[in-house]
A = this chain, B = another copy of it.
Amino acid sequence: MPRGRPPAYTRDQVVTAAVTVADTDGLEAVTMRRVATEVGAGAMSLYTYVPDREHLIDLMVDRVAGEPVPPRVTGDWRADVLALLVMQRDLMRAHPWLPGVLGGRRLTGRNLLGFLEHGLRALEPAGLPGITKMTLLGLFTGFVASYVTGELTSDPALAAVDIGAAVTSGNFPFLRKALIEGGGGPLEFPAIADWMIAGLVEQARHQQKAG
């Protein structure tokens, strides 16, 4: 039987509140005080459930990583990995703060490790060293993150450019032309993701043979 005063909240509540705040008001709104208020607790009470803010973000990542149910692995590694990346993309679009916190983050938590496990299982038939498979999965996820970041900035490149400066001065003729001319819808994610998967795996095989 547990001794001492029983907890009034749970770690899950805290993480859930943090994710909700991040989803609605962005990651910078995830302050200890704000999350505590959302939970209904005092600010310092959070530290019973979480060692610090950085760790809380780790938990947020692992939380949302547990939302989607990964599709069955069929044995067709190319299709299986593609399905995984499509899932990752959907996840990042549902939680726009996710791509931004993924870089360089330590992989902790059951769900995140589960993601990795699933990817490794999907890549198994491709026949590569384990470390190489992990490297590839990291590259894939990074690619998805940067693709989604582009998507979320609403119009990948156009909106991100200080158009006035570019077009006014005559110093950027190609940029000027690219901005003026229209055409060319957005690149479809599944197609380019599929290409990436096949291409990088093939590359890894080549380098394996050569090295």
Query: In the complex the two chains form, is B207's CB within 8 Å of A161's CB?
Result: no
Known: A129-B184, A184-B129, A204-B187. A106 touches B160 (CB 8 A): yes
Flag if A100 contacts B107 (CB, 8 Å): no
Contacts of A95-137 to chain B: CB distance below 8 A = 99-100, 103-108, 110, 113-114, 116-117, 120-121, 124, 128-137
What's the number of copies of this chain in the assembled complex? 2
Tell whether A138 pairs with B150 under 8 Å between CB atoms, given A106-B162, A162-B106: yes
Known: A113-B172, A174-B124, A195-B200. A207 touches B187 (CB 8 A): yes
B203 touches A192 (CB 8 A): yes
Residues in B neighbouring A171, C-beta threshold 8 A: 110, 113-114, 117
Tell yes or no: A166 within 8 A of B by CB: yes
Instruction: Count A-side interface residues using an 8 Å CB cutoff.
Output: 76
Whether A130 contacts B178 in the complex (CB less than 8 A), given A150-B138, A157-B138, comes out as yes
Top 5 nearest A-B pairs (CB, nearest first) are A142-B146, A130-B178, A129-B184, A134-B157, A120-B174
Jot down 24 A-B pairs with beta carbons below 8 A, ordered by A. Answer: A99-B103, A106-B161, A113-B161, A113-B166, A113-B175, A130-B178, A130-B180, A130-B184, A131-B158, A134-B157, A134-B158, A134-B161, A135-B186, A137-B157, A138-B146, A139-B150, A139-B192, A142-B143, A142-B145, A143-B143, A143-B146, A145-B146, A192-B204, A195-B200
